[in-house]
């Protein structure tokens, strides 16, 4: 055991002696976690700040209301003016706003035409011009636009229905029909019949008792949202992000560390060590234990950094977190050693390592939740160390899971470590490293 400890001490001295490796192990992942967290930090509080070029050619109070709503919602930033050739700020018209999109200065423009909503309209006409260069952004803009308009001025829908009834049945019968409908809706949904009939102007301020019933559709579909898990987590996306980046960098670190055996062999150091009273078994054990301990330290440091940057609560379930970290470090060490055992050079091990780590990180849920992925990829992801490590981290950090809940995950990670390590040791005996 003393010889193994001496070898581990040697590896730590070498690790600390190479400041680039130290920074790649700790500082670079922390920077990336910070960047990733900053990018996605507000994803849970909704979409905000989508740029939308905007022209309102209508004088209708309804379209004024739409403009006011879009102006005040945080989802959009409306661009209403452009700078002409003389440097003057000029309001858009339909042609200039289309040019603006064509030139790529905005991804989309909303034009409200002059006849958008008249006394006889059955609905609102809007024109949406867009550049499909970014499909995801376009879907977000369209979705948010529809949602904002429908949620803020639902009365338009009621007016439209009543106008349709009068147009079909005639004015008198239509009024009677609408009145009957309004009374029925009023009776069962307990709202003011005037609201159903649209007697309040769409853009007016309603009395408080009517305001709460303004969105009739909201009353029809009463979807109550109650968060059961992670309600007290201040930065849920960062919680996932820290775990994902940490496990990916852990694998890079341990693959590089394992492949250092090749460098030591090439320089003759392995031979020098083996001429001392140290056996190959000592070297292998020391590499395993060193890598596991380094991985444990790295993950712990990254989680502590995540906790400081994003207020992730790692301490209320700290012991279980450490258990998952140990299991993940063991499995990742086994992966790194497997690569070294089956490779003939350090370059081979690192090349395969990069490919496999990026593949496992992407499909294992290190970057995005696996639920975003197609079913067959979700199935494949379960065969990766990243998936089970992420599962463990999320269990202890999101669900505050106890030891009995995380035992299956720990079992899988330690089991993977044992199986892969056994294969590696057999391969090391007949391989190129020693």
Partner 1 sequence: MIQIKGVTKKFPEVTALDNITLKVQERQFFGLLGPNGAGKTTLINLIVGYLNPDQGEILIGSEKVTRDSLETRKLIGLVPQSLALYDDISAETNLEIFGSFFGIEKKLLRERIDALLNSVQLYDRRKHRVKSFSGGMKRRLNLIASLLHDPPLLLCDEPTVGIDPQSRNAIFDYLLMLNAQGKTIVYTTHYMEEAERLCNRIAIIDTGKIIADGSVEELLGELSFEECISISKNQTTTSKIDLLKKFGKVLEEQDHYELTPAGEFRLSSFFGLLEQNGISDKFIYIHKPSLETLFLHKTGRRLRD
Minimal distance, residue 34 CB to partner 1, in Å: 28
Q: Which of residues 309-328 bind partner 1 (CB under 8 A)?
A: none
Q: Which is nearer to partner 1, 173 or 267 (CB)?
A: 267
Q: Which is nearer to partner 1, 169 or 269 (CB)?
A: 269
Q: Which is nearer to partner 1, 112 or 273 (CB)?
A: 273
Q: Which is nearer to partner 1, 7 or 34 (CB)?
A: 7
Q: Which is nearer to partner 1, 90 or 281 (CB)?
A: 281
End-to-end CA distance of the chain: 21
Q: Does 215 bind partner 1 (CB under 8 A)?
A: no
Q: At what angle do helices 280-310 and 318-342 cross, to 10 degrees?
A: 140
Q: How many of the chain's residues bind partner 1 (CB under 8 A)?
A: 24
Please choose, out of 55-63, 196-204, 222-230, 261-269, the segment that lies near partner 1 by the rule CB under 8 A: 261-269
Applying CB under 8 A, which of residues 69, 101, 278, 356 lies at the interface with partner 1? 278
Q: Does 9 bind partner 1 (CB under 8 A)?
A: yes
Site string for partner 1, 62-101 (x = CB under 8 A): ----------------------------------------
Q: Does 46 bind partner 1 (CB under 8 A)?
A: no
- Residue 57 and residue 361: Cα distance in Å, rounded? 50
Q: Does 18 bind partner 1 (CB under 8 A)?
A: yes
Applying CB under 8 A, which of residues 2, 89, 190, 430 lies at the interface with partner 1? 2
Q: Which is nearer to partner 1, 120 or 276 (CB)?
A: 276
Contact 54, 80 (CB under 8 A): yes
Applying CB under 8 A, which of residues 32, 138, 210, 274 lies at the interface with partner 1? 274
Q: Does 275 bind partner 1 (CB under 8 A)?
A: yes
Applying CB under 8 A, which of residues 46, 268, 374, 375 lies at the interface with partner 1? 268
Q: Which is nearer to partner 1, 3 or 219 (CB)?
A: 3
3-state SS record for the chain = CHHHHHHHHHHHHHHHHCHHHHHHHHHHHHHHHHHHHHHHCCHHHCCCCEEEEEEECCCCHHHHHHHHHHHHCCCEEEECEEECCCCCEEECCHHHHHHHHHCCCCCEEEEECCCCCCCCCCCCCCEEEECCCCHHHHHHHHHHHHHHHHHHCCHHHHHHHHHHHHHHHCHHHHHHHHHHHHHHHHHHHCCCHHHHHCCCCCCCCCCHHHHCCCCHHHHHCCCCCCCCCCCCCCCHHHHHHHHHHHHHHHHHHHHHHHHHHHHHHHHCHHHHHHCCCCCHHHHHHHHHHHHHHHHHHHHHHHHHHHHHHHCCCCCCCHHHHHHHHHHHHHHHHHHHHHHHHHCCCHHHHHHHHHHHHHHHHHHHCCCCCHHHCCHHHHHHHCCCHHHHHHHHHHHHHHCCCCHHHHHHHHHHHHHHHHHHHHHHHHHHHHCCCC
Minimal distance, residue 407 CB to partner 1, in Å: 39
Applying CB under 8 A, which of residues 210, 269, 380, 423 lies at the interface with partner 1? 269
Q: Which is nearer to partner 1, 126 or 278 (CB)?
A: 278
Minimal distance, residue 105 CB to partner 1, in Å: 52
Q: Which is nearer to partner 1, 157 or 434 (CB)?
A: 434
Contact 288, 335 (CB under 8 A): no
Please choose, out of 40-48, 172-180, 214-222, 263-271, the segment that lies near partner 1 by the rule CB under 8 A: 263-271
Q: Does 13 bind partner 1 (CB under 8 A)?
A: yes
Applying CB under 8 A, which of residues 27, 183, 271, 347 lies at the interface with partner 1? 271
Applying CB under 8 A, which of residues 233, 242, 261, 273 lies at the interface with partner 1? 273
Minimal distance, residue 431 CB to partner 1, in Å: 15
Q: Does 223 bind partner 1 (CB under 8 A)?
A: no
Contact 386, 248 (CB under 8 A): yes
- Residue 159 and residue 124: Cα distance in Å, rounded? 11
Q: Does 1 bind partner 1 (CB under 8 A)?
A: no
- Residue 77 and residue 335: Cα distance in Å, rounded? 48
- Residue 375 and residue 68: Cα distance in Å, rounded? 43
Minimal distance, residue 7 CB to partner 1, in Å: 8
Q: Does 374 bind partner 1 (CB under 8 A)?
A: no
The residue ranges that bind partner 1 (CB under 8 A) are 2-3, 6-7, 9-10, 13-14, 17-18, 266-269, 271-280
């Amino acid at each position: 055991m003393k010889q193994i400890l001496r070898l581990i001490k040697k590896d730590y001295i070498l690790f600390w002696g190479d400041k680039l490796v130290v920074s790649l192990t700790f500082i670079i992942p922390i920077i990336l976690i910070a960047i990733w967290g900053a990018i996605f930090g507000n994803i849970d509080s909704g979409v905000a700040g989508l740029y939308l070029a905007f022209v309102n050619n209508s004088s209708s109070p309804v379209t004024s209301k739409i403009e006011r709503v879009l102006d005040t919602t945080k989802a959009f930033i409306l661009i209403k003016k452009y700078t002409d050739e003389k440097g003057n700020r000029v309001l858009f018209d339909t042609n200039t706003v289309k040019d603006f999109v064509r030139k790529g200065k905005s991804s989309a423009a909303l034009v409200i035409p002059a006849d958008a909503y008249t006394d006889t309209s059955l609905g609102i006409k809007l024109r949406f011009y867009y550049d499909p260069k970014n499909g995801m952004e376009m879907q977000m803009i369209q979705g948010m636009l529809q949602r904002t308009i429908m949620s803020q001025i639902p009365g338009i829908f009621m007016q439209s229905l009543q106008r349709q009834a009068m147009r079909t049945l005639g004015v008198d019968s239509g009024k009677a029909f609408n009145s009957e409908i309004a009374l029925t809706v009023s009776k069962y949904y307990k709202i003011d019949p005037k609201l159903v009939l649209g007697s309040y102007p769409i853009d007016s301020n309603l009395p408080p008792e009517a305001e709460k019933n303004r969105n009739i559709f909201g009353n029809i579909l009463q979807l109550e949202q109650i968060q059961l898990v992670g309600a007290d987590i201040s930065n849920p996306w960062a919680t996932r992000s820290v775990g994902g980046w940490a496990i990916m960098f852990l694998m890079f670190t341990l693959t590089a560390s394992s492949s250092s055996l090749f460098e030591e062999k090439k320089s003759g150091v392995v031979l020098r060590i083996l001429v001392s009273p140290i056996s190959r078994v000592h070297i292998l054990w020391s590499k395993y234990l060193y890598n596991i301990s380094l991985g444990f330290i790295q993950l712990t440091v990254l989680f502590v950094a995540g906790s400081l940057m994003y207020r992730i609560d790692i301490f209320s379930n700290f012991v279980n977190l450490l258990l998952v970290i140990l299991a993940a470090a063991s499995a990742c060490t086994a992966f790194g050693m497997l690569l070294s055992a089956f490779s003939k050079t350090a370059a081979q091990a690192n090349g395969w390592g990069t490919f496999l780590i990026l593949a496992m990180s992407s499909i294992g849920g290190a970057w995005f939740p696996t639920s975003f992925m197609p079913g067959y990829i979700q199935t494949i992801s379960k065969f990766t160390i990243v998936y089970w490590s992420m599962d463990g981290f999320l269990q202890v950090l999101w669900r505050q899971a106890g030891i009995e809940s995380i035992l299956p995950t720990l079992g899988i990670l330690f089991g993977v470590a044992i199986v892969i390590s056994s294969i590696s040791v057999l391969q090391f005996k007949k391989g190129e490293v020693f």
